[in-house]
């Protein structure tokens, strides 16, 4: 079994490490212009892990695509360009697994839709989402994650291939709900970080109660199953995203409040804009997402926005109303 990882940053390097641990032949790829990849090639390590000697690293895309399964872990906003590049190759015998949690900024589209629009010709397209951080997995802390594909056969094939005692794999065929839910949890993570930065962490309970409901409305309006929001793709990922010190989105929200610089990508920033674009097309209200976006853009005072959203009496809503 040959597995290739396209994009070898924080999560991509974990997938290299993990697939090698599973006993597969593993190749990692990034373009020659990537300075971080050059360092990985030189040092065989990054701040998160050390790669086994058996992992091959290359900048030759044709060499990298000789695989039974391709795992893609690039920033969501760069995926369309890569998908267009991959569409030039016949991948009909290859399973493609997307590990990014985001929506396309310019269109609000899910990444599996972007792959289809760009003419990606593969055996299947799945997503790999759910809670966890590379730092925890490498340290031996087990977790559960999720594979979602359009059909059960593909979901079973990928979960059986990639599951282990370290990463127990669950499966779903609700690609719409799982993609939107996984992307949206990063926006909720930013909101949680803002509360931490303002020393209002006690409001996270209200955040966790209300956020899944607005995401469920968006999923339902998009044609997905709103119940997926309450699984591993969204609500099940809250511990890792809203509380963990390793969460980039939570850290971004906290840094924004404290007016501190933060290095690294926070996918929730472009995703918040993409979600609002999608919600506008579908006539769905997203009050938490709107609050996050307005604060990021500097349009709303943070304390005023938090007060308007949380600090007023309100009748509790229930997800059952979505049925």
Domain boundaries, the chain: 2-173, 176-322
Residue 130, by phi and psi: left (phi above 0), alpha (psi -120 to 50) or beta? left
Residue with tokens 């040959």: 2
- What the block records as the tokens of 49 is 């892990």
Cα-based torsion angle of the residue sequence 295, 298, 301, 305 in order, rounded to the nearest 10 degrees: -30
2, 101, 109, 185: which is the annotated catalytic residue? 185
Query: 2-173 maps to which CATH number?
Result: 3.40.50.720
Query: 176-322 maps to which CATH number?
Result: 1.10.1040.10
The whole-number average pLDDT for the span 235-246 is 94
In degrees rounded to 5, what are phi and psi of residue 129? -135, 180
The whole-number average pLDDT for the span 225-251 is 95
The whole-number average pLDDT for the span 259-271 is 85
Residues 131/240, Cβ–Cβ less than 8 Å = yes
pTM for this predicted structure: 0.93
pLDDT in tens, 124-152: 999 999 999 999 999 999 999 999 999 99
Q: What percent of the chain has pLDDT over 70?
A: 96
Q: Note if 185 is an active site residue.
A: yes
**Are the folds of 2-173 and 176-322 the same?**
no
- What the block records as the tokens of 96 is 């493609």
């Amino acid at each position: 079994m040959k597995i290739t990882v396209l994009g070898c940053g924080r999560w991509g390097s974990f997938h290299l490490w993990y697939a090698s641990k599973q006993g597969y032949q593993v190749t990692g790829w990034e373009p020659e212009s990537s300075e971080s990849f050059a360092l990985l090639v030189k040092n065989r390590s990054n701040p998160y892990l050390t790669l086994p000697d058996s992992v091959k690293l290359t900048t030759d895309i044709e060499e990298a695509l000789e695989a039974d399964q391709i795992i893609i872990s690039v920033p969501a906003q760069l995926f369309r360009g890569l998908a267009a590049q991959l569409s030039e190759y016949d991948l009909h015998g290859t399973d493609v697994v997307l590990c990014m949690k985001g929506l396309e900024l310019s269109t609000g589209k899910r990444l599996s839709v972007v792959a289809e629009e760009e003419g990606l010709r593969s055996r299947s397209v799945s997503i790999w989402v759910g809670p966890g951080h590379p730092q925890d997995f490498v340290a031996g802390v087990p977790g559960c994650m999720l594979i979602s594909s359009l059909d059960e056969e593909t979901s079973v094939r990928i979960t059986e291939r990639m599951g282990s005692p370290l990463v127990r794999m669950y499966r779903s065929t609700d690609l719409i709900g799982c993609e939107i839910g996984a992307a949206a949890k990063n926006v909720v993570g930013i909101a949680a970080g803002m509360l931490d930065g303002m020393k209002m962490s006690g409001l996270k309970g209200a955040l966790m109660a209300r956020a899944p409901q607005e995401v469920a409305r968006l999923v339902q309006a998009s044609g997905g199953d709103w119940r997926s929001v309450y699984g591993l793709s969204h609500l099940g990922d809250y511990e890792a995203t809203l509380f963990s010190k390793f969460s980039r989105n939570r850290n971004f929200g906290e840094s924004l409040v404290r007016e501190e610089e933060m290095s690294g990508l926070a996918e929730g920033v472009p995703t918040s804009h993409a979600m609002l674009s999608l919600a506008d097309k579908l006539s769905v209200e997203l009050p938490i997402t709107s609050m996050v976006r307005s604060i990021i853009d500097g349009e709303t005072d943070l304390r005023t926005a938090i007060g308007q959203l949380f600090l007023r009496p309100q009748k509790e809503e229930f997800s059952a109303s979505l049925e």
